[in-house]
């Protein structure tokens, strides 16, 4: 007997909103696992798939991107000190009502909005943007209501870490040599102290 898919316990109305306005014929359903992925690198790959830039039929004025399902949005990672330093701003329209929220607080409130903003800000500002936004479905956990579709897991390309710059490398080597010299000097001082005690 085939294993049944786990029941979706989230907001089904929100998860399925706007699907009727999308022509689903011939679309691929790509699944992105955000667990442990860097926010910007993941968002750039999602924006490429949403625009259809990974297809030979890509044209900038035609909407032929695929459906993107992003799972585990709460487990996204960022580099550096962005979790505390990155700030989202918005204005209510009233005088002096400039609001702000740090990335850490936004992750606690709604982690799906972090990925949505990162992806939408990478898309061109044209009339195709709303359709591309409807094709993006983000879930904070690993549950989703699209198990009846032919899902394709997206494999993130390997991250190319560039070599250290020469000046930084020289500084690191100098620091390592200095630390080794200090350690050797401490060991020698300790030996001399024990020799004086025994003599």
74: how many CB neighbours lie within 10 A of its CB? 16
Contact partners, residue 70, CB within 8 Å, separation at least 6 = 32, 34, 42, 46, 112, 115, 136, 137, 138, 139
Do both 148 and 188 map to the same domain?
no
Are 51 and 13 contacting, i.e. CB atoms less than 8 angstroms apart? Answer: no
Query: Residue 68's closest CA among 122, 108, 2, 3?
Result: 122
Q: Percent of the chain scored above 90 by pLDDT?
A: 63
pLDDT tens-digit readout, 98-119: 999 999 999 999 999 999 999 9
In terms of average pLDDT, the best of 3-7, 114-118, 158-162 is 114-118
Do both 104 and 187 map to the same domain?
no
Residue 31 lies in a domain: yes
Check residue 89 and report its DSSP letter: E
Do both 144 and 107 map to the same domain?
yes
Do both 21 and 47 map to the same domain?
yes
Pairing mode, strands 98-102 and 87-91: antiparallel
Residue 88 lies in a domain: yes
| Residue span of the structural domain in which 134 resides | 12-161
Do both 102 and 152 map to the same domain?
yes
Q: Give the total number of structural domains in the chain.
A: 2
Do both 138 and 190 map to the same domain?
no
Q: Which two tokens stand for residue 20?
A: 């009727």
Give pLDDT, residue 3. 54
Do both 40 and 80 map to the same domain?
yes
Residue 146, pLDDT > 60, answer yes
Do both 52 and 145 map to the same domain?
yes
Here the CATH number for the domain that contains residue 56 is 3.90.1180.10
pLDDT tens-digit readout, 41-91: 999 999 999 999 999 999 999 999 999 999 999 999 998 899 999 999 999
Do both 86 and 173 map to the same domain?
no
Give pLDDT, residue 5. 66
Identify any residues that bridge with 29 across adjacent strands, giving them in sequence order: 67, 151
Q: Report how far apart, in Å, the C-alpha atoms of 197 and of each of 183, 187, 191 are.
A: 21, 15, 10
Residue 12's pLDDT band (cuts 50, 70, 90): confident
Residue 1, pLDDT > 50, answer no
Do both 17 and 88 map to the same domain?
yes
Residue 2 lies in a domain: no
116: how many CB neighbours lie within 10 A of its CB? 19
Residue 8's pLDDT band (cuts 50, 70, 90): confident
Residue 76 lies in a domain: yes
Do both 167 and 192 map to the same domain?
yes
Do both 127 and 167 map to the same domain?
no
């Amino acid at each position: 007997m085939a294993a049944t898919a786990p029941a979706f316990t989230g907001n089904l109305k929100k998860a399925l909103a706007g699907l009727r306005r999308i022509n689903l014929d011939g679309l691929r359903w790509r699944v992105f696992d955000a667990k442990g992925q860097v926010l910007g690198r993941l968002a750039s790959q999602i924006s490429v798939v949403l625009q259809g830039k990974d297809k030979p039929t890509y044209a900038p004025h035609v909407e032929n991107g695929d459906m993107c399902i992003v799972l585990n949005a709460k487990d996204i990672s960022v580099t550096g000190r962005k979790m505390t330093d990155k700030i989202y701003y918005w204005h209510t329209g009233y005088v002096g009502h400039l609001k702000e929220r740090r990335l850490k607080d936004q992750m606690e409130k709604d982690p799906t909005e972090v990925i949505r903003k990162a992806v939408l800000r990478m898309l061109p500002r044209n009339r195709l943007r709303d359709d591309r936004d409807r094709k993006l479905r983000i879930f904070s956990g690993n549950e989703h209501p699209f198990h009846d579709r032919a899902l394709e897991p997206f494999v993130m390309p390997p991250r190319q870490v560039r070599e250290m710059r020469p000046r930084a490398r020289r500084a690191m080597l100098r620091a390592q040599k200095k630390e080794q010299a200090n350690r050797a000097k401490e060991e020698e001082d300790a030996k001399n102290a024990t020799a004086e005690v025994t003599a």
